[in-house]
Homo-oligomer: A and B are copies of this chain.
Amino acid sequence: MGKLLVIHGPNLNLLGMREVAVYGNVTIDGINRMVEEEAGKYSLDVDFYQSNHEGDIVDKIQEAVRGYDCIIINPGALTHYSIAVRDALVAVDIPVIETHLSNIYKREDFRHKSVIASIAVGQISGFGPQSYVLAVRAAAEIIKA
């Protein structure tokens, strides 16, 4: 009924293995399974991509122009400076949902500014792995509309 691309930015491959006190013990695979389960409820297919390389993420977004109806992206550290990722998202013209595990407004000042937010449909921040699950549901509504 639709197809999602979920992009995890730099260092998110370490989830559940490092800084467990901060990010919890769910791994990136665990999150991906939660996402797939939620997507299944709305008959959405999902592909996943993680990279620590800004350039690879830009490449991936560019390829997304063929066949995806919505992009869910947790840009990690790139949230705060990657105008290249922003430009790629604008160029492919697919609805974007920005997610964050932690509440970025509770963290260092430089994390309060997202260069992605103003070109996304919306932002979900602070609910841990649920941020992704909620994003899937939001994506389902967007695709349906």
What is the size, in residues, of chain A's interface with B at 8 Å between Cβ atoms?
Answer: 57
* A 95-117 to B, binary, CB cutoff 8 A, 1 in contact else 0: 00000000101100011001101
Q: Given A11-B87, A18-B91, A18-B93, A114 and B120 touching (CB < 8 A)? A: no
| Chain B neighbourhood of A13, CB < 8 A | 62
B18/A92 in contact, CB under 8 A: yes
Give the copy number: 12
* Chain B CB within 8 A of A10 CB: yes
| Chain B neighbourhood of A58, CB < 8 A | 10-11, 52-53
B118/A103 in contact, CB under 8 A: yes
| Chain B neighbourhood of A137, CB < 8 A | 130, 133-134, 137
CB distance from A38 to the nearest CB of B (A): 10
